[in-house]
Structure 1
Amino acid sequence: MKKYLVLAFLGIGLIACKEGASNQEDVATVSEELTSEEPGVFGEEFKNEATLTAFELGDIYSNLKVGDTINVTFEGPVQEVCQAKGCWMQVDVGAADPVMIKFKDYGFFVPKDIKDKKVVVHGEAFISETSVEEQQHYAKDGGKSEEEIAAITMPKKTLGFTASGVKIAE
């Protein structure tokens, strides 16, 4: 009797694992569907109406507190991009530190070679606190040296942004 129960649980486990693999394929398909067909546009479509300059966004950040959010569209130069996948980027907004931009629901990525290009970004601006571990992870993704990574020892307040869409400006 015990043998039959063990075999039944193993069978159920194998079926569950197989279904999990198909779910991963579905996630990849959804990620591809979120990317626009228009060249240089990633994520959801948006209009460039009421687009702020990077420095205007920097002024808005100076008035935000941890936990505040604001919906905004802005244009600015890319300072750094994740070299592993293009899953984040940093844009200069005229503040002491650039704004860290991640992509909504990890649903799209940007090209890894857009450093120094202008982008128009639409989404939510906010202030957050970034842990030492997360800062070190971003430094590693950004190609920083081991010495630079080891020098990160304190959490810091970060200018954050969750982008629902990104356009590479021409």
Structure 2
Amino acid sequence: MTLPVLCPEADRNGALAAVEILQPRAVITIDSVKAAAIGAKTDLVKPLLVIDLGAHLTEAAVLANGCVIEARRTPHGTADLRTSITINSLIEYIRDMMADLLSHDCGPQVVDALERGPLLAGGGALLPAITYQLSKQLSCPVLPASGAYTVALRGATTIALAAHRHPSAH
């Protein structure tokens, strides 16, 4: 099960309770940004910036050596484009998250990740205007994930299959 990286504990518990109704043998949770990176088959050793631009939430996270080291979120996503905000406003929220990440201890990893180019996942990556404007605002290439809408699901599937094949699972 993928969860937003900054998912509040109550939401996480609610999601786990919902899954428990299915009576699974086990539940594996993974941050959606990490699942997206795995699904995109990116090199997880080098610093990577993942921007998951969904319908109701946008998260940006810096991964280094496969671990999320810092993340930010905004409660705005592509669904808001129909009602309350513009693409430029959404890009500004993302730019503000990048500035905030740069001002923290992980700043050097953010710089390295920006030079590499952020991975854009979620439905927002399907909108060329967002990719173009984000690339312009961040002054770096923005790399939409292949199959960006389902990339986190592919990553979670990869993790689930690996766990199933692990000797301790038998």
| Bucket of the pairwise TM-score, normalised by the shorter protein | under 0.3
Q: Which structure is higher in helix share?
A: 2
TM-score by length of 1: 0.26
The structure with more radius of gyration: 1
TM-score by length of 2: 0.26
Q: Which structure is higher in strand share?
A: 1
